[in-house]
Amino acid sequence: MKLIPSTPRETKSSAERRLFDRLRTAFEPDQPFEPDQPFQRNQPSGREQAPFEPGQHAPLTAFHSLNLTRHAYKRFGEIDFVIVGPQGILVLEVKGGGIACHAGIWSSRDRSGTLTRLKESPFRQAEWAMHGLRSRLESALPPGIVGQFLWGYGVVFPDCDWSIEGAEWDQPMIADARASRNMTSWLSALYRYWQEREGRRRAPASADALAQVIGFLRPEVDVGIPLHGVLEELETRVAALTKEQMALLDIVDANARVLCSGGAGTGKTFLALELARRWAASGRQLLLACQSPWLKHWLETRFAIPGVSVSVANTVRSAARRAGVDRFDALIVDEGQDLLSLDRLQALDGILSGGLQAGRWCFFHDVNHQAGYFGQPDPAALALLESCAAAKMPLTRNCRNTRQIMGHIQSRLGLAMGTRGTGDGPEVVGHQVRSSEEAARLLASELDRLMGRGGLSPSEITILSPKPFADSTAARLSGKHTAELIELDEFALRHFPPAKVSFAEIVSFKGLENEAVILIDLCQAGQAPRSIADQYVGMSRARSLLIVISVVADRRNKE
């Protein structure tokens, strides 16, 4: 007989454990059945009582320690064993030790002589459990399923001989010390007994009905942690990491000029903003400069700090006029690799009190340069900053990306991503396609997966492409996916993330991030500097989940 679970549940009852082992060996191949014979009350055992066809094995399943959320009169109940087969459903109550009933009060006595009063008759307990189980199945399964089964119950007293007659039971309902040694014979007799009680011979339940009952009683469950649950846990880790990096600001405060370098995800923008708050709180007029208009709009909207002006490098003079100053007291540069040219540094030098040589500034830049977007970094520009007696502060702790994302970028591009990361997250998903149509179908499928069983909200998903929207795979989406998608621009960044799935060109999304990123329209063959920058920037924008869809050229099409 098949038992679920395959090992007995934790129980203090040695009687249940013994019965579990006896049920396991019941109806084995060496115990064939003879044709049906009428039930004979006085025969305790024997093959003639088996209600099965000749030579068949009983396709029975036994459930141990089944909890009921509905009981005939209890709020919750537990059934020691339930036997389920096409012949019917039997509920078994097991009482070990000695059994007694005096003045209507039932009790059991264990081997040490301890007497335990039972709340009710074992027979009544089994009967009510049977009714509760039937009611639960009838409410959960389609009509007509439960009615296919014969229903009955029995009580097992494996430690005592039972020959007492009473109004509450018939002898076939009881498996005492002798009868319980041969569960094949006793269960066969118990099925026959309840069939006789019903007064008619019923056909076995269908295979579908049997599968539905078994599936409901103990469903096979393999529920993974949903993506939204994984992401919530990662957010907690990120908060802890950023607190660690806050301590680095003490180093900046101790130095007038600092070159702070780190790869994507090492917390440069976070530290730049916190440093801006500190310096502005001391009464300084501060300029926070970057090169990307998108990043500029996002910073000045989401992190409006009194005394802090945010500007792109070519409009710093206008920013000073708006602030009512000729020069700023201090300068912070984010995404500084985009400003590593002598012309741009000259513009910054002219609006900083004391200039770059003697003024107070902190320059955050990426050691991997993210080259190709705003011109190649000029080594002379970096040398100029280093000549200003600037302290160097490397950031090595990645506080944005999971280990899986970091490892994928490092192995694919060979670029440093910092150490440790935010912990384990979902594996990076990579797809290779040979046509834009196939890429669009795959993109739609991934969006359905993330927002379906993944449990992510549209606002947590950003699609990035090296191409403008009109030329990208995202433009080929249709139906609901089009309605769920918004194309970002520098003004839309004021309310990032939006309520919809967002799309952006990689170059414009520098310095920004989202929980899940789907990177599309990459060309496997391209390893030019711009292609490397697209991959590096695009992949590193994902905090927790990264999906990459690459287009592989099909040589057959070219031929």
Dihedral angle, C-alpha 346, 352, 355, 361, nearest 10 °? -100
What six digits make up the tokens of 153? 């119950």
Say whether pLDDT at 122 is over 50.
yes
The rounded percent of the chain whose pLDDT value lies above 90 is 34
CB contact at 8 A, 315 and 288? no
Query: Could you tell me the pLDDT band of residue 401, with boundaries at 50, 70 and 90?
Result: confident
End-to-end CA distance of the chain: 63
Cα 279 to Cα 458: distance, rounded to the nearest angstrom: 37
CB contact at 8 A, 546 and 388? no
User: What was the pLDDT predicted at 551?
Assistant: 83
User: What was the pLDDT predicted at 476?
Assistant: 93
- Looking at per-residue confidence, does 276 or 302 come out higher? 276
User: What was the pLDDT predicted at 367?
Assistant: 66
CB contact at 8 A, 296 and 334? no
Cα 171 to Cα 59: distance, rounded to the nearest angstrom: 25
The mean pLDDT of 347-369, rounded to a whole number, is 89
Give residues with Cβ within 8 angstroms of 376, minimum separation 6: 529
The mean pLDDT of 20-29, rounded to a whole number, is 82
The mean pLDDT of 534-540, rounded to a whole number, is 87
Average pLDDT across the chain, whole number: 81
Give residues with Cβ within 8 angstroms of 57, minimum separation 6: 27, 28, 29, 33
| Max avg pLDDT among 369-373, 455-459, 510-514 | 455-459
Cα 523 to Cα 394: distance, rounded to the nearest angstrom: 32
Does 403-558 match 255-395 at the fold level?
yes
Cα 89 to Cα 149: distance, rounded to the nearest angstrom: 6
User: What was the pLDDT predicted at 244?
Assistant: 58
Task: Compute CA distances 308 → 43, 98, 200, 319, whole Å.
Answer: 96, 84, 89, 10
What six digits make up the tokens of 94? 């097991």
User: What was the pLDDT predicted at 254?
Assistant: 79
Say whether pLDDT at 174 is over 50.
yes
Cα 123 to Cα 121: distance, rounded to the nearest angstrom: 5
Closest of 461, 483, 481 to residue 544, by C-alpha = 461
Query: Could you tell me the pLDDT band of residue 294, with boundaries at 50, 70 and 90?
Result: confident
User: What was the pLDDT predicted at 39?
Assistant: 37
Three-state secondary-structure class, residue 317: helix
CB contact at 8 A, 68 and 132? yes
Residue 94 carries which DSSP code? E
Query: Could you tell me the pLDDT band of residue 421, with boundaries at 50, 70 and 90?
Result: low
Query: Could you tell me the pLDDT band of residue 259, with boundaries at 50, 70 and 90?
Result: very high
| Class of the CATH-defined domain 255-395 | alpha beta
User: What was the pLDDT predicted at 252?
Assistant: 78
Task: Compute CA distances 375 → 335, 340, 344, whole Å.
Answer: 13, 9, 12
Segments of 2-143 assigned E as strands: 2-4, 61-68, 77-85, 88-94, 98-102, 105-109, 115-117
Say whether pLDDT at 8 is over 80.
no
Say whether pLDDT at 67 is over 90.
no
Cα 288 to Cα 323: distance, rounded to the nearest angstrom: 12
pLDDT tens track for 96-109? 889 888 888 898 88
Pick the CATH number of 403-558 from 3.60.110.10, 3.40.50.300, 1.20.1260.10, 3.30.530.20: 3.40.50.300
Range name among 157-161, 189-193, 415-419 with the lowest pLDDT average: 415-419
The mean pLDDT of 530-555, rounded to a whole number, is 82
- What are the boundaries of each domain within the chain? 2-217, 255-395, 403-558
DSSP 505-535: EGGGGTT--EEEEEEEEEETT--SHHHHHHH
User: What was the pLDDT predicted at 33?
Assistant: 42
The rounded percent of the chain whose pLDDT value lies above 70 is 81
Closest of 64, 58, 57 to residue 82, by C-alpha = 64
- Looking at per-residue confidence, does 463 or 57 come out higher? 463
* DSSP bridge pairs for 522: 550
Give residues with Cβ within 8 angstroms of 506, minimum separation 6: 464, 465, 466, 519, 534, 537, 538
The mean pLDDT of 378-383, rounded to a whole number, is 88
Range name among 111-115, 124-128, 259-263, 545-549 with the lowest pLDDT average: 111-115
| Max avg pLDDT among 44-48, 461-465, 530-534 | 461-465
User: What was the pLDDT predicted at 36?
Assistant: 42
- Looking at per-residue confidence, does 398 or 504 come out higher? 504
Say whether pLDDT at 34 is over 50.
no
Residue 214 carries which DSSP code? H
State which H helix or E strand residue 208 sits in. Answer: helix 207-217
Cα 286 to Cα 288: distance, rounded to the nearest angstrom: 7
User: What was the pLDDT predicted at 418?
Assistant: 66
Say whether pLDDT at 319 is over 90.
yes
pLDDT tens track for 426-440? 889 999 988 889 999
